Amino acid sequence: MGKITTCLLFVGVLFSCGFAEAAANTTPIQVHHQEPTFIERGKSHDLIFTVPGVKANKVVEAYLFYRNNGDISYKQKKATLHSTDFTTTLTISDKQATEIEYYFEIQLNSGEKVTYPQNVLQSSPVQVEVIDKRKTKRERSVAQTGVDYTILSPNPGTTVTQNDVIIALTLFYDPAEIDTANSSFQFRLDKRDVTEQASASEYFYTYSPDDLAPGKHQVKFNLLKNDSTYEVASWNFTVLDPTASATTESTGSKAESWVPNGRLEFAGRSQQLGGINNDALSGNVRLSGQKGDISYSAYGLLTTQEDPRLQAQNRFRAQLYIGDWLDFKAGHVYPQLSALTISGQRMQGINVGFHAWDDLLNLRVVHGKLRRGIDNLFQRLEPDYQIQQQDTVGVSYLLNTKNRGAGTFKRDITGGRLGIGRGDTFEFGLNFLRVEDDTNSINVIDNFNTLMNSAPSLAESLNSQQRKELNQDPDQLSVNGVPRPKGNFVAASDLLVSLDSDRIRFEADGAFSLLNEDISEGAFSQERADDLGFTLDKDTENFLEQLSWLVIINENMNTLPLRFNADDSGVSATPDLPTSLLAFDSQAGFNYFDNNLKVRYRWVGPAYRSLANSTIRNDIAGFSITDRVQLFKNRIYLTLGYERLHDNVSDDKEATTNTVTYRSNVSWYPLDQGLPQLRVGFLARNRDNEVALFNPYVPDGMEKSAVQNFKIQEGDTLIAPNPRLTNSYQLSSSISQEFSLFNISHSASLSYSYTDTKDQRFKYGGAKSNSLSMQVVNRFEEQALQTRIGFNYNSTKTGNGLTDIKILGFRVGGSMFLMDDRLNINASLAFTKNRTESASLGIPIAVSQDGDVRNDYYEPGANNASTSKSESHSYIINASGRYNLSDRHSFLLTLRYSNVRNVLFTSAIPNDHLIQARYIFNF
């Protein structure tokens, strides 16, 4: 294909997966991502989430939350941002894993969260089949041709001088299985048949070309059989220009040394967001070295975006490994203990592991802070005058925090795990975690006295009478928007037993948690207990005081670990551990006869929480069973699953919701790469709290639109819990295919999902969603060019059609490699059309003016309820380039421009642009 055609293909580059949404004040950020058809066990997979409208200065953190299907909590992995792509690498090594679930979350400095899937719930993540590692290209070739090989020289991907080019390989095969009369071997170099020039024996081929031109070259060794060509081996190497050979280092590995290898990077950007300039400078360094059994690495980032009102933007981390017995990590680290404590959340501190007796005894200690303190920002105190009875004027005093001025306590964390066993057959661990906010880490105003001590200028508007009144009663000042310091202690154990080469596997986790929502008052005392109306004996008071170094226990506990006893002398309290503070999760797996059977049971109390792992779902109990069958030599995977869960595990609510889920999945992964890979999954879920729908106060037929629900009990009409009965159906499918056409390698994937939720109890509770996405990646064999084409369409209706959202997106992108791969150019163009129509619900005026809330019911458009329409078009252009001056020096340039237009309104939305330059020095 000629250069003109290549350039046209590059300029008209094909649309990449997903829908793009511009970053504008009136347009929400959208994440798009092409879900993989499957994930191979033990293989690293890059998951890429593209956010064309993302603004780097608005991002605090971005995480991938993932778990094996049915696990009690999610693990976390940090995603890195480059241009508009968040990337993280996922590797699943668990032999019992049959399916992985994940969702992606971006945390913005405004406090908002952007997710994929959009508005994700932990119960509806992306689900991808996990399959055993497939045969490599070489393994498939050996199975097809019966010929194996060893490449003698040059090694694949290496660089050799012009005078040292010798192409050689050894063959291994059984002559009895090769029909030599109708078969022969073919030796090709850069598409030239050099079989006749090569020196050949029955099992050995070698070829020494004369004056082979500098640059990249390709070798192919084929088996010709019955007019068909089968590739046996294929590899590339590079010939070095003789004039440059004298200055080139040996390709051998660098000797071990205390002197570090590393990378130094400087970046500067000019950015305009919403008409406001947002320039920034940053620099980071990475170091690593190894000598003997000791290895180390370090990372540091400094940026002008560091802001005392945000969590740390400057980052640092250091790691030290000494043999197999010590790993030491300090700085911003991501510790993991057990699933019920902490599982990858970022903290600043130390994470140290000691491993003795060949990993038979393991100790891990973590200590640091989950977040730093951020002071409260308060508005000036203005008295509020109100007309009271008999025309008297009353004054109230309310101190508010400013917009986004609420502070954050520094949150300290200390934890550890003592483990016995290596995990191959047996492992038992004891875990503990203490998380507590530092009450002295930020400025706290809780009455007039603390206001005058810390910020008297805020009270300048008060007159002398008002000051006198507040001095006499400091608690008359109410403070709004101030956070409350929390404390949390979790103790947990974990057990793993593996038998018969991990074909039988049993896992169990158990824990209890104590959470205090406000530790500012300190631990319970006898005086405080008297104020609350019960007696606290001295022994219990001493016990609570001694326990306060782990967790402060007072009336602000989410569940008090006390038992109250009433007798003639009054009410007394003694220590107790309610079941609502407990959590338990167990799983048994059996892998025999191409069946992978899992049985799981969990019980998590409503009061169980870990401040270091927010993904644990509490107040849930039940079991699940899943079986995956491998058919036709692992070409077809059939998965069937059943799950039954219920809430209200402590029986302290009026109604219990039962959730029953049926799941099935069929996947086809053919051995022949010329055939497509298919996956079809179906899920049916029923949620029912067995509460009858009843409201005799609304007109007939309007019960499903009613605000309240009632029940008849002993002849009286009483308020009842809202009834719940929903049926959800989800269909998901994908197909992917690799093929070659016009000397171009193509990788295409198509995904479709349909979700329908029918609410049998509330008229406006249903939802429907259709999503279609496509991606094609094209790799040109004759040119250093790769292009992408993608398309995404999403239609969502909620509220029984009250809200209708349609998103249509395209994106084109491509990469080109020039100047012997020293120059890499990337470009993409994204377009999104986002249209929303919505009608709000209202209560008819005649009904709402009646004053009897029992007969309230909803109607679309009633009582001047609003309707709205919006449509926006966004265009985002991205371009970047990287020039490698040498192996050590690289220059990068990134450009981005976005344009958003609101079709239905004339209000102008400023265009945004970004120009960023970076320099990288490798040493």
Segment 762-775, tens digit of pLDDT: 999 999 999 999 99
Condensed to tens digits (0 to 9), the pLDDT of residues 316-362 reads: 999 999 998 999 999 999 999 999 999 889 999 999 999 999 889 99
Q: Which residue has the higher pLDDT, 632 or 856?
A: 856
Distance CA 398, CA 382 (A): 8
Residue 27 has pLDDT above 60, yes or no: no
Condensed to tens digits (0 to 9), the pLDDT of residues 452-471 reads: 988 898 888 888 888 888 88
Give the residue from 92, 90, 118 showing the smallest Cα distance to 105. 118
Condensed to tens digits (0 to 9), the pLDDT of residues 137-185 reads: 777 777 778 888 888 888 888 888 877 788 989 888 877 777 766 788 8
| Amino acid identity, position 872 | S
Q: Is the distance from CB of 649 to CB of 657 less than 8 angstroms?
A: no
What single-letter DSSP state applies at residue 515?
E
Condensed to tens digits (0 to 9), the pLDDT of residues 567-619 reads: 666 677 777 889 999 999 999 999 998 899 999 999 999 999 999 998 899 99
Predicted confidence at residue 744, as pLDDT, reads: 82
Residue 94 has pLDDT above 90, yes or no: no
Residues 6+ apart with CB under 8 A from 116: 31, 32, 33, 49, 103, 104, 126
DSSP string, 124-193: S-EEEEEEPPPPPHHHHHHHHHS-EEEEEESPTT-EEEGGG--EEEEEE--GGGS-TTTEEEEEEETTEE
Q: Is the distance from CB of 890 to CB of 923 less than 8 angstroms?
A: no
* Lowest pLDDT segment from 213-217, 649-653, 825-829: 213-217
As a whole number, mean pLDDT of residues 27-32 equals 67
As a whole number, mean pLDDT of residues 231-236 equals 88
- Tell me the pLDDT band of 20, cut-offs 50, 70 and 90: very low
Q: Which residue has the higher pLDDT, 396 or 17?
A: 396
Q: Which residue has the higher pLDDT, 550 or 38?
A: 550
What single-letter DSSP state applies at residue 79?
P
Predicted confidence at residue 287, as pLDDT, reads: 92
**Paired sense of beta strands 535-536 and 487-499, if any:** unpaired
The token pair that represents 318 in the structure block = 């250091």
Q: Which residue has the higher pLDDT, 507 or 674?
A: 507
* Lowest pLDDT segment from 33-42, 69-78, 385-394, 711-720: 385-394
Residue 436 has pLDDT above 50, yes or no: yes
Predicted confidence at residue 120, as pLDDT, reads: 60
Q: Is the distance from CB of 540 to CB of 560 less than 8 angstroms?
A: no
Predicted confidence at residue 78, as pLDDT, reads: 86
Predicted confidence at residue 11, as pLDDT, reads: 31
As a whole number, mean pLDDT of residues 797-815 equals 91
As a whole number, mean pLDDT of residues 620-642 equals 91
Q: Which residue has the higher pLDDT, 570 or 108?
A: 108
Q: Which residue has the higher pLDDT, 619 or 244?
A: 619
Greatest Cα-to-Cα distance within the chain, rounded to the nearest angstrom: 116
- Tell me the pLDDT band of 282, cut-offs 50, 70 and 90: very high
* Lowest pLDDT segment from 175-179, 425-429, 688-692: 175-179
Residue 82 has pLDDT above 80, yes or no: no
Most confident stretch, 187-191, 750-754, 842-846: 750-754
Residue 738 has pLDDT above 60, yes or no: yes
> What is this structure's pTM?
0.81
Give the residue from 837, 488, 689, 614 showing the smallest Cα distance to 76. 614
Residue 60 has pLDDT above 70, yes or no: yes
Task: Name the percent of the chain lying above pLDDT 90.
Answer: 40
Average pLDDT of the chain, as a whole number: 85
Predicted confidence at residue 254, as pLDDT, reads: 46
Distance CA 319, CA 297 (A): 5
Residues 6+ apart with CB under 8 A from 385: 393, 394, 395
Predicted confidence at residue 821, as pLDDT, reads: 79
* Lowest pLDDT segment from 614-623, 680-689, 725-734, 905-914: 905-914
Predicted confidence at residue 26, as pLDDT, reads: 39
